[in-house]
């Protein structure tokens, strides 16, 4: 391979990257930083759990049944946000609004179930001060819940905007919201086995 063809390949890659919308690049950079946050927490949790001998007694107090339901709720919300994006591509405004609202409602359901779970655990005296496991549990699920709340706000804002006159201006934002929402779902896919099953 000649030096000229290598240079051309580098320039082609640079041009392809430059063609990406700045909003999408910004979302990917943001998600990369969030991966570092959650990755650091999960890594610390795993090392602490190994050092503590497994935390089997503590894990026995978490509600795996509710966590399974919440997992199904979030996975379903991934489908609805994909359908919202597909509806944008098909220029079907009413379907966009329907699936964005479904995503919002599923996100609210997830938080409602989590709030019920928290209230039950706190009633039983299991708070962040109850031990290292519970500190990790509340920190990781609480931070994840905050991200779900942010996603709900974003998707609801898009739902409202999709009903207005400037539908074309928000179409690409549905894709960015989808990227964020999928990230939230993937984080839960890691948290669920770490906190409830392992």
- Give me the percent of the chain exceeding a pLDDT of 70: 90
Alpha helices in the chain (DSSP H): 3-18, 22-52, 56-59, 64-89, 93-123, 132-162, 167-192
Return the pLDDT at 44: 95
The domains located in the chain, with CATH, are 22-197 (1.20.120.80)
List the chain residues with pLDDT less than 50: 3-4, 6, 10, 12
Kindly write down the DSSP assignment for every residue of 15-27, as one continuous string: HHHHTS-HHHHHH
SS3 92: coil
- Helices (H) then strands (E): counts for the chain: 7, 0
């Amino acid at each position: 391979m000649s030096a000229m063809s290598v240079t051309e390949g580098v320039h082609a890659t640079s041009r392809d990257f430059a063609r990406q919308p700045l909003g999408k690049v910004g979302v990917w950079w943001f998600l990369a930083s969030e991966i570092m946050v959650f990755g650091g927490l999960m890594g610390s949790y795993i090392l602490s759990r190994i050092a503590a001998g497994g935390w089997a007694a503590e894990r026995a107090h978490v509600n795996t049944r509710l966590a399974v339901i919440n997992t199904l709720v979030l996975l379903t919300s991934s489908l609805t946000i994909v359908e919202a994006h597909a509806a944008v591509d098909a220029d079907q405004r009413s379907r966009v609004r329907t699936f964005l609202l479904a995503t919002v409602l599923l996100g609210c359901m997830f938080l409602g179930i989590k709030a019920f779970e928290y209230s039950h655990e706190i009633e039983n005296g299991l708070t962040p001060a109850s031990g290292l496991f519970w500190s990790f549990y509340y920190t990781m699920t609480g931070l994840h819940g905050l991200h779900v709340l942010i996603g709900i706000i974003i998707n609801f804002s898009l739902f409202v905007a999709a009903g207005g006159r400037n539908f074309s201006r928000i179409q690409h934002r549905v894709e960015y919201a989808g990227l964020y929402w999928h990230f939230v779902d993937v984080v839960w896919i890691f948290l669920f086995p770490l906190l409830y099953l392992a």
